[in-house]
């Protein structure tokens, strides 16, 4: 048997060909080793050095992050009734990585038509997120059923577009307490840049004013979501991981829903504010500002027509309860205090009132243009005699008046949680006047200030805090909206009133109701109470109307202040006092007014 066979043709080797085949084999082997080594080195580099990066690229094309925003914490009144909660709504999301940038253009155009959102707006959001982002990007909230249907019909032509249900903010009472609660909305680019380090992301919804903004940290909650694997069409293949969203905390306010409703009803469509607080601890029971707005409009997407309607109102977003106005004759509480505590006037002082006081050729008139004859401090408070307080101001000078004005909390923010929207008001003094008006302080400035006019500015909330001082026995309270279990004394600071001054204030405020300018409050429907009228001039516009009071007389539980901006119906005793009366009736009798308070005819009014 032949085990081997020679090839049919054997090439004859010569001296020139000996070793050539061996050399070729070596070269080929060297090239092969080099190639394999290069490929191996590259594979090792890609896997060991850039492995994490390349795995991320692969994951980004097959793994989708489906974020789930948390349900915002509820806002409740002091009795646990819902003031702000959540409801389900539909939102539109984009998955940027699903398409190349150029392929998004026709999709954006169609979305713009269906959602009535400018193409530029959608395109800007995509540019901000980045086209390699695997996270869903919200571009519209609160879409209508018709829009949901349209998006479903065109879903095949719009890969990377999803419609999902989500919780949005809901205010069951509409515009009730709108300025207290505020509203929510998506963050602006500037806010996002400023707060990105706090974990906020593009499209996040945050509180924009009021309690929603003040307690954003408590109400916000924590995001959750799913990490899912998808196929090339974007269909979910499996869930890789899940983190539950954590709802925000519930915030319970000091507001009383029934009292808030009553205050809003009696103020009606007038411009102004009503504040009710507990003089024992500063808890705000009601805080109303009109005109108002419906915060539900901002929970999804406000239309141009809705925005224009809001703009047609007179500054509906201004919280008038926290803005400064001349406090008028309510301020005579401070002037009485300063006059007696300065030592220039004894508690038993009697001064002759007259039609006017003339100083430097200027006549400062009493509000009735006649005067009231001889009065003591109690009588001057009851009848709100301007010329009585002019004389006390001239006698003590501006220093004690300004000092006691500041002791009562004027000229600085009250400490309420809505600090971003609160005005500090103004306590004018010689330094302020020189710096702002380049003028010296005149005796006429002191005279005007003594009746809450001139440059003096105070908010309805500050005036309510002032009334709390005689109501609670001489302490300045810090108004607050967050309900808690702290002792009442922790919210109070004595301002240094002597017992005699305190008694004169309390007696004078009671006489306002029993026989003076506030007799509309002297009614069997209320327990004995005390208060003060005020009418502030605001030329060339109509005067502002004020009334502040507290009840019951022997152990006050509530202070209510009503303010009507440029009241066309009359002064404090005629217009503002009837509002306070009805709010107090709700508090003590559990009744609800059914219409705005009517002016009281035939009332002697300051």
- Report the relative pairing of strands 251-252 and 75-76 from DSSP bridges: parallel
pTM attached to this predicted model: 0.84
* pLDDT tens digits, one per residue of 147-187: 999 999 998 889 989 898 888 899 999 999 999 999 998 88
Q: CATH homologous superfamily of domain 63-252? A: Penicillin-binding protein 2a (Domain 2) (3.90.1310.10)
409: Cβ contacts below 8 Å, ≥ 6 apart: 462, 465, 466, 476
For residue 206, give both structure tokens.
């945050």
Residue 322: φ, ψ to 5°: -115, 10
* pLDDT tens digits, one per residue of 201-216: 777 889 999 999 999 9
Judged against a pLDDT cut of 50, whether residue 11 lies above it is answered with no
* pLDDT tens digits, one per residue of 328-369: 999 999 999 999 999 999 999 999 999 999 999 999 999 999
Element (H, E) at 378: helix 377-383
The CATH class for the domain spanning 257-589 reads alpha beta
Judged against a pLDDT cut of 80, whether residue 14 lies above it is answered with no
* pLDDT tens digits, one per residue of 485-511: 666 668 999 999 999 999 999 999 999
Higher pLDDT, 118 or 11: 118
Q: Are 206 and 213 in contact (CB under 8 A)?
A: yes
Average pLDDT, integer, range 97-124: 91
Q: Do domains 63-252 and 257-589 have the same CATH topology?
A: no
Beta bridge partners of 284: 277
Average pLDDT, integer, range 30-48: 61
* pLDDT tens digits, one per residue of 63-80: 666 667 788 999 999 999
Share of the chain above pLDDT 70, in %: 86
329, 384, 459, 543: the catalytic one is 329
Average pLDDT, integer, range 551-561: 97
Strands (E), 305-411: 350-352, 356-359, 362-365, 374-376
pLDDT at position 57: 43
Closest to 177 in 3D by CA, of 73, 257, 249: 257
> How high is the mean pLDDT of the chain?
88
Share of the chain above pLDDT 90, in %: 66
Can you give the residue ranges of every domain in the chain? 63-252, 257-589
* Residue 329 annotated to the active site: yes
Judged against a pLDDT cut of 70, whether residue 289 lies above it is answered with yes
Q: Residue 424, Cβ neighbours under 10 Å: how many?
A: 17
127: Cβ contacts below 8 Å, ≥ 6 apart: none
- Report how far residue 331's alpha carbon sits from residue 454's, in angstroms, rounded to the nearest whole number: 12
Judged against a pLDDT cut of 90, whether residue 8 lies above it is answered with no
Beta bridge partners of 572: none
pLDDT at position 19: 53
> At 243, is the pLDDT very low, low, confident or very high (cuts 50, 70, 90)?
confident
Contacts 24+ apart (CB under 8 A), 429-434: 429/398, 429/402, 430/398
């Amino acid at each position: 048997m032949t085990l081997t066979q020679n090839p049919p043709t054997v090439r004859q080797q010569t001296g020139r060909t000996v070793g050539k085949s061996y050399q070729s084999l070596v070269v080929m082997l060297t090239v092969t080793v080099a190639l394999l080594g290069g490929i191996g080195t590259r594979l090792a580099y890609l896997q060991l050095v850039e492995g994490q990066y390349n795995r991320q690229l692969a994951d980004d094309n097959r793994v989708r992050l489906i974020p789930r925003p948390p349900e915002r914490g509820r806002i409740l009144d002091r009795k646990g009734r819902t003031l702000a909660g959540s409801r389900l709504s539909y939102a539109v999301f984009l998955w940027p990585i699903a398409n190349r940038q150029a392929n998004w253009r026709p999709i954006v155009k169609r979305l713009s038509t269906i959602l009535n959102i400018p193409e530029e707006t959608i395109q800007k959001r995509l540019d901000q997120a980045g086209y390699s982002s695997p996270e869903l990007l919200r571009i519209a909230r609160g879409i209508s059923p018709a829009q949901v249907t349209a998006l479903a019909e065109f879903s095949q032509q719009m890969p990377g577009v999803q419609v999902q249900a989500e919780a949005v903010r809901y205010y069951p009472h509409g515009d009730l307490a709108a300025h207290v609660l505020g509203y929510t909305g998506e963050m602006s680019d500037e806010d996002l840049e400023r707060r990105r380090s706090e974990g906020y992301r593009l499209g996040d919804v945050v509180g924009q004013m009021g309690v929603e903004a003040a307690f954003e940290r408590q109400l916000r909650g924590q995001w959750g979501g799913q990490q899912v694997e998808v196929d090339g069409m974007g269909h979910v293949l499996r869930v890789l991981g899940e983190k539950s969203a954590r709802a925000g905390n519930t915030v319970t306010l000091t507001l009383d829903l029934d009292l808030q409703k009553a205050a809003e009803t009696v103020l009606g469509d007038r411009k102004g504010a009503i504040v009710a607080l507990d003089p024992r601890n500063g808890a705000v029971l009601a805080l109303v500002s009109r005109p108002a707005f419906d915060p539900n409009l901002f929970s999804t997407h406000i239309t141009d027509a809705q925005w224009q309607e809001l703009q047609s109102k007179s500054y509906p977003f201004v919280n008038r309860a926290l803005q400064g106005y001349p406090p008028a004759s309510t301020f005579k509480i401070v002037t009485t205090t300063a006059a007696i505590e300065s030592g220039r006037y004894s508690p038993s002082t009697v001064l002759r009132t007259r039609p006017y006081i003339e100083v430097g050729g200027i006549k400062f008139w009493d509000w009735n243009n006649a005067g009231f004859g001889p009065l003591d401090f109690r009588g001057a408070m009851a009848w709100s005699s301007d010329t009585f307080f002019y004389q006390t101001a001239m006698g003590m000078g501006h220093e004690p008046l300004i000092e006691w004005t500041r002791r009562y909390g004027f000229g600085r923010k009250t400490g309420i949680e809505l600090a971003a929207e609160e005005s500090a008001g103004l306590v004018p003094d010689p330094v302020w006047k020189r710096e702002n008006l380049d003028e010296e302080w005149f005796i006429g400035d002191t005279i005007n200030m003594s009746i809450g006019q001139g440059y003096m500015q105070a908010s309805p909330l500050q005036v309510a805090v002032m009334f709390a001082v005689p109501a609670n026995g001489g302490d300045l309270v810090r108004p607050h909206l967050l309900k808690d279990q702290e002792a009442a004394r922790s919210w109070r600071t004595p301002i240094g009133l002597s017992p005699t001054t305190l008694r004169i204030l309390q007696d004078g405020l009671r006489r306002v109701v029993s026989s003076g300018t506030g007799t509309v409050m002297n009614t069997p429907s209320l327990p004995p109470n005390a208060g003060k009228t005020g009418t502030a001039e605001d030329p060339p516009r109509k005067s502002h109307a004020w009334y502040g009071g507290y009840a019951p007389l022997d152990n006050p539980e509530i202070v209510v202040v009503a303010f009507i901006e440029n009241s066309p119906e009359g002064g404090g005793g005629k217009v503002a006092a009837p509002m306070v009366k009805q709010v107090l009736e709700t508090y003590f009798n559990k009744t609800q007014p059914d219409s705005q308070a009517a002016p009281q005819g035939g009332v002697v009014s300051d």
